[in-house]
Amino acid sequence: MTLQRASLRPPRISDDAPAEDGKRLNELAKSSGFGISGGPSGQEADRVGEGARSVLLPAQPRMSLRDRRPPKETRSFNFNCKMKPRIKDKIDEICIARGVSQADVIEMLIEHYDLKA
Partner 1 sequence: MAAFIIACASSKGGCGKTTLAVAIAGVYASNGSSVLLVDADSRKRLQEEWYNPETLSPKIKVISSRVEDVETDVSKNRDVFDVIIIDVEGSANWALAQALQVAHFSLVPSNVSFQDLKDAQKVYNYVESINKESKRYRHCWIVWNRVPTAIRSKEMKATMDEAVTSGLPILTTIHERDAYKAMFSYQTTLDKLREDEAVPSAGKAEQEIAILISAMHEKLEAQAA
Interface residues toward partner 1, by CB under 8 A: 1, 3, 5, 7-15, 17-21, 24-26, 28-29, 32-46, 48-60, 62-63, 68-70, 74-77, 92, 95-97, 99, 101-104
**Could you tell me the smallest distance in angstroms from the CB atom of residue 110 to partner 1?**
15
The H or E element containing residue 110 is helix 102-116
Quickly list H helices, 56-101: 65-68, 85-98
Chain Cα centroid distance, residue 117 = 35
Choose between 2 and 117: whose C-beta lies nearer to partner 1: 2
Yes or no: say if 44 and 34 are a contact pair by the CB < 8 Å rule.
yes
- Are 46 and 33 within 8 A, CB to CB? yes
Q: Which is nearer to partner 1, 59 or 81 (CB)?
A: 59
Question: Least CB distance from residue 116 to partner 1, whole Å?
Answer: 25
Minimal distance, residue 47 CB to partner 1, in Å: 9
